[in-house]
Amino acid sequence: MDNPGKFYITTPIYYVNARPHIGHTYTTIACDAIARRQRMLGVDTWFLTGTDEHGQKIERSAAAAGCTPREFADRISGEFRALWDRMGVTYDDFIRTTEPRHARGVQALFARLQERGYIYKGSYSGQYCVFDELYVDAAEPGAPCPECGRPTETVHEENYFFKLSAMQERLLKYYGEHPDFIRPETRRNEVVSFVRGGLRDLSVSRTSFKWGIPVPNDPKHVIYVWLDALANYMTALGFGSDDPKDRARLARYWPADVHMIGKEIVRFHCVYWPAFLMAADLPLPKSIIAHGWLLFEESKMSKSRGNIVRSETILDTLGQDALRYFLLREIVFGQDGSFSFDALVQRFNSDLANGIGNLASRTLSMIARYFGGEVPYPSASERAPADEAIGALAQQTITDFHAQFEQFQFSRALETAWSLVAAVNKYIVENEPWSVAERDDQDSRARLATILYTSAEALRVVTALVHPVIPEATAKIWTQLGLGEIRQMDLRELAWGQLQLGTRLGAVEAVFPRADKSMVERMQQMEQQRSAEITKTDETKAAAATQAETAPALADSSGGGVVEKITIDDFLKVELRVGQIKVAEKVKGADKLLRMEVDIGTEVRQIVAGIAKAYEPEKLVGRKVVIVANLQPRKLRGLESNGMIVAASLGDDGLPVLAGFLEDIPVGAKLK
């Protein structure tokens, strides 16, 4: 099943647990640039993006934000879509895993795997990482997750299992026969050695939460989020539908030509997904391309580091072309790359403002001034070796750019295009058309025409090549060149010397005004303000309790003055124990208080604490906390509180943050 003349490309569907940031933008614009170029090559192209919305993590995040999982997913998914729309991303479809068309397709795939004998019912007891939605095999209770390092939780579940173990040899054979299936090479090698190490059957259903797609005929179970999510690449085309239109689209575009992913989800895409497809007897995608991480000034962007950069800041200042160009030019695709505002502004000025922007404005304004805005005739007699050299370089640039782009070497392809820009800018400086224009003889006039024709033609070539990467500015330059709509341009036919003589230029205006030095500072300030706003909205929802109704804190972080020293004996008077919250509920009439029943090993205590604005009671059940066990009982709102929960106190409002442990620890253990 191979469909020549079509091209189907996908981004990963983004998990709605996090707001869109520049890392998501990076993946999306890489796909957008590829899709735009395919269309310019006359290929029938389908570009899919979307959001992944199920799973326990979303259920918990929604509870923390005080809304339903559906409302939570709607909000974040909407933010992704709005950002792509604002950036003019040319996706053909946006799939959400909460849509009926997706659920129908996932259930059809599940049923198909069941019918073919690849899914069976079994039971699992062991460790589970909620963050990665992943079972951790052969681990001790509480062992850290091998993927993310967070503590795992012990679960006992009756589940459906997929016979992944049966696919090991078939997968290895497939990787061997299709060397381009996984790229780059380093990722491919990792996958091959992982599969060689042996595959265990994969649990593909959950009963521990509800927010997912039910297993067909067994709605107690929801389908494993990764089986659910991966299927989007087919359900979006119409897999599982009987509608002839959907079936035709599926037949037309599947298998995908490119699944673009980040390197952290390689295993799911390169092992599980092909295994599901093989078991279901469906065609496999042609290639899976993994890019590296986008670091911020050399360190990984993360919520906890607070160094997440949002695309909006750059869109508001330098515009989308600047962001697109920077990410594809600066980062060697496949490797980790670094983002910084300094580097962004530097690139913007050197390559866009002084590079292609300068080439366009000087060439077009001289044609306007000296030739009344009509592309002049390049004289045959007044031709110099320098003119021929530009023509030859442009022709070579076309060949090289295509070859490099095809290999996903965006950075090299852009470097190639900008060598031509630099060469033409140099050519203009050396040939001084402005001086030639001052001489009024026939030969000089012919020479001037040749120089400006050569410059304009080189500009046309570069503009066409890089349109998929910087669509806005190149569309403007194209119009200024008098060539109409750049989207109509057929990239297959691009060659030197096609600029029609006498073409009338459009109105000439600068496309990339230079950014001054204050721009970096401005963007940093916008970014700080933006993350402050976001933190504020998130935390007012999740937190805000005062010290007043909390039992006295052990250590007051807000003081900063001199604290009287105590002896070890004084400290030993305080009995600190590990407790586990069994019951947690709001206290009527007191919006800051929670009533809890806490198991401290020897007994279950009632403790009342002022943490209601920071923690949803449902989220606390099962959580291990530190208790001051030998505190005099006291009454809060008529309820006896027998002990105190240890928490840090944050900021002026004294937001409580519960103390906890990274390792698993038995209830009742003493702290000393």
Size of the site for Zn ion (CB under 5 A): 6
Residue 24 has a CB neighbour count (10 Å cut-off) of: 23
Distances from the Cα of 517 to the Cα of 297, 323, 343, 420, 514, angstroms? 19, 17, 12, 27, 10
Query: In whole angstroms, how close is the CB of 152 to Zn ion at the nearest point?
Result: 7
User: How many other β-carbons are positioned within 10 Å of the β-carbon of residue 669?
Assistant: 16
CB of residue 25 vs Zn ion: minimum separation in angstroms?
25
CB of 660 to Zn ion, least distance (A): 16
Q: How far is CA 551 from CA 169, 382, 576, in A?
A: 61, 91, 15
Q: Which residue has tokens 């993360």?
A: 302
Per the structure block, which two tokens stand in for 632? Answer: 């005099």
CB of 139 to Zn ion, least distance (A): 11
- In whole angstroms, what is the distance from residue 352 CA to residue 514 CA? 9
Rounded (10°) CA dihedral 664, 669, 670, 672:
-30
The total number of residues written for the chain in this structure: 672
Can you state the percent helix, strand and coil of the chain, rounding each to 5?
45, 20, 35
- Check whether the bond before 666 is cis (ω within 30° of 0): no
We find the least distance from the C-beta atom of residue 151 to Zn ion, in angstroms, to be 9
Residue 594 interacts with Zn ion (CB under 5 A)?
Answer: no
Minimum distance from CB of 267 to Zn ion (Å)? 13
**Which DSSP symbol is given to 352?**
I
What's the min distance (Å) between Cβ of 55 and Zn ion? 13
Q: Which is nearer to Zn ion, 59 or 527 (CB)?
A: 59
Nearest distance, CB of residue 144 and Zn ion, angstroms: 8
State yes or no: residue 331 binds Zn ion (CB under 5 A): no
Phi, psi (5° rounding) for residue 288?
Answer: -120, 120
Distance, in Å, from the CA atom of 585 to the CA atom of 634, rounded to the nearest integer, reads 19
Q: Quick one: 117 or 146, whose CB is closer to Zn ion?
A: 146
Nearer to Zn ion, 133 or 246 (CB): 133
Compare residues 131 and 370 and give the one whose CB is closer to Zn ion. Answer: 131
Q: CA 590, CA 365: separation in Å to the nearest integer? A: 72
Q: Which of 124, 131, 174, 661 binds Zn ion (CB under 5 A)?
A: 131
- Minimum Å gap between C-beta 225 and Zn ion is 13
Q: Does 145 bind Zn ion (CB under 5 A)?
A: yes
Give the binding range for Zn ion (CB under 5 A) out of 73-81, 144-152, 593-601, 618-626. 144-152
Residue 430's SS3 state is helix
**Contact predicate 480/360, CB 8 Å:** yes
Which CB sits closer to Zn ion, 133 or 387?
133
Q: Which is nearer to Zn ion, 54 or 81 (CB)?
A: 54
Region binding Zn ion by CB under 5 A among candidate stretches 84-92, 142-150, 281-289, 382-390: 142-150
**Taking contact as CB under 5 A, which single stretch among the options 132-140, 333-341, 506-514, 604-612 is the one that binds Zn ion?**
132-140
Q: Minimal distance in Å, beta carbon 392 to Zn ion? A: 55
d(CA 330, CA 592): 50
Using CB under 5 A as the binding rule, whether residue 132 contacts Zn ion is answered as: yes
Helix axes 410-431, 442-466, angle to 10 degrees: 170
**124 is a contact residue toward Zn ion (CB under 5 A):** no
Contact between 661 and Zn ion per CB under 5 A? no
Binding of Zn ion by 139 (CB under 5 A): no
Task: Please say which residue, 153 or 585, places its beta carbon nearer to Zn ion.
Answer: 153
Residue in the shown chain whose Cβ atom is closest to Zn ion: 145
597 three-class SS: strand
Q: For Zn ion, which stretch binds (CB under 5 A), given 127-135, 176-184, 212-220, 655-663?
A: 127-135
Q: How many CA atoms lie within 13 A of 91 on its CB side?
A: 24
At its nearest, how many Å lie between Zn ion and the CB of residue 48?
27
Segment interacting with Zn ion (CB under 5 A) among 86-94, 139-147, 258-266, 625-633:
139-147
Binding test (CB under 5 A) with Zn ion, winner from 82, 148, 248, 657: 148
Q: Which stretch binds Zn ion (CB under 5 A): 122-130, 266-274, 276-284, 549-557?
A: 122-130
Q: Of 174 and 293, which CB lies nearer to Zn ion in the complex structure?
A: 293
Q: Where are the alpha helices (DSSP H) in 356-498?
A: 358-371, 385-406, 410-431, 433-436, 442-466, 471-480
Residue 225 engages Zn ion in binding (rule: CB under 5 A): no
C-alpha 113/C-alpha 95 separation (Å) is 23
Q: What does the DSSP assignment read for 7-49?
A: EEEEPPPEETTS---HHHHHHHHHHHHHHHHHHHTT-EEEEEE
147 binds Zn ion (CB under 5 A): yes
Cβ proximity to Zn ion, 136 vs 469, nearer residue: 136
Q: Is 527 in the site for Zn ion (CB under 5 A)?
A: no
- x/- binding map, residues 16-35, to Zn ion, per CB under 5 A? --------------------
Place of tokens 């001037």: 448
**In angstroms, what is the minimal distance from the CB of 147 to Zn ion?**
4
- Say whether residue 264 binds Zn ion (CB under 5 A): no
Complex with Zn ion: residue 136 or 367, whichever CB lies closer: 136
User: Measured between alpha carbons, how far is residue 231 from residues 64, 277, 451 in Å?
Assistant: 28, 9, 56
Q: Is 136 in the site for Zn ion (CB under 5 A)?
A: no
Contact in structure between 229 and 58 (CB atoms under 8 Å): no
608 vs 599: CA distance, rounded Å: 14
Binding range to Zn ion, per CB under 5 A, among 94-102, 128-136, 235-243, 566-574: 128-136
Q: Does 194 bind Zn ion (CB under 5 A)?
A: no
User: Of 58-66, 126-134, 310-318, 541-549, which part binds Zn ion (CB under 5 A)?
Assistant: 126-134
Residues near 634 by beta carbon (within 8 Å), at least 6 away in sequence: 551, 640, 641
Residue 321 engages Zn ion in binding (rule: CB under 5 A): no
Residue among 129, 237, 360, 465 that touches Zn ion (CB under 5 A): 129
Candidates 141-149, 279-287, 303-311, 455-463; binding stretch for Zn ion (CB under 5 A): 141-149
In the complex with Zn ion, the residue whose CB is nearer, 128 or 273, is 128
The minimum distance between CB 529 and Zn ion, in angstroms, equals 32
Give yes or no for residue 384 binding Zn ion (CB under 5 A).
no
Rounded to a whole number of angstroms, the minimum distance from the CB of residue 145 to Zn ion is 3
Which one of the spans 30-38, 121-129, 443-451, 561-569 is the region binding Zn ion (CB under 5 A)?
Answer: 121-129
One DSSP character per residue, 242-280 reads --HHHHHHHHHHPSPSEEEEEGGGHHIIIIIHHHHHHHT
Piece of the chain touching Zn ion by CB under 5 A; list 52-60, 92-100, 148-156, 635-643: 148-156
Q: Should residue 501 be labelled a site residue for Zn ion when binding is judged by CB under 5 A?
A: no
Pairing label, strands 44-52, 93-96: parallel
Burial category of 211 from C-beta neighbours within 10 Å (exposed 0-12, middle 13-18, buried 19 and up): buried
Minimum Å gap between C-beta 150 and Zn ion is 5
**Residue environment code for 238-265, b if the CB has 16+ CB neighbours within 10 A, otherwise e:** bbbbeeeebeebbeebbbbbbbbbbbeb
Nearer to Zn ion by C-beta: 131 or 661? 131
List, in sequence order, every residue forming a beta bridge with 161; answer none if it has no partner: 120, 203
Positions in the binding site for Zn ion (CB under 5 A): 129, 131-132, 145, 147-148
